[in-house]
Amino acid sequence: MGTMNFALYPMLGKDRDWLHAWEKLFLEGTDDLVFKNTPRDIARILRSLGMERGAWFEFECYDLSHLYMLRHFADRGLIQPPYFIQLVFGVLGGMGPDPENLSHMVRIADKLFGGDYLFSVLAAGRFQMPLITMAAAMGGHVRVGLQDSLTIARGQLARSNAEQVVKIREIVERLGRVVMPPMRCARGSG
């Protein structure tokens, strides 16, 4: 929901074997990476995919300002509720993966959108399980996967996305929440 620095280069400090020649070069280049997403860019996407083709968006918010930008586009009538907000933590250039930031983001989303939104949390790296557990306890949705975190526990690599799904499912069910079954969407059905 906005232009931001998207710095992944701190990962270079971790001891690792590179699987592909491009990995290290890509990370090195992120000290100069700007993720461009201007209001004009956003409006064009909302019109062409949302209004013209009926897409329902996941609005990724890496920063508090992104919630206000989302409210701006709602006020302009370019999106309609319910809004699905993905709160993203742990990418340098966005919000730090602190529990206080999650609480604050949900409070501001409540203020801006009332009951017209759902939220989910994506937390990068080792912060994935603690923050998505907190999100589930707060009534939010969760996201797991190797795209966001390679571990299943501190210092332990996950074997698969499925292993992370099993872990968070157990946590969510222990919190008394209901887990949605896997869904397949037919083209045009949502």
pTM confidence score: 0.88
Mean pLDDT of 65-82: 97
For residue 153, pLDDT over 90 is answered with no
Task: Work out the angle between the directed axes of helices 99-113 and 64-75 (0-180°, nearest 10).
Answer: 10
| Least confident interval from 54-63, 68-77, 176-185 | 176-185
The pLDDT-based confidence of 186 (bands split at 50, 70, 90) is very low
At residue 188, the pLDDT reads 42
pLDDT digits 0-9 by tens, 84-117: 999 999 999 999 999 999 999 999 999 999 999 9
With contact defined as beta carbons under 8 Å apart, do 154 and 161 qualify? Answer: no
Chosen CATH of 24-174 out of 3.30.465.10, 3.10.20.600, 3.20.20.70, 3.40.50.1000: 3.20.20.70
Closest Cα to residue 113, out of 159, 150, 68? 68
Percent of residues, the chain, with pLDDT higher than 90: 68
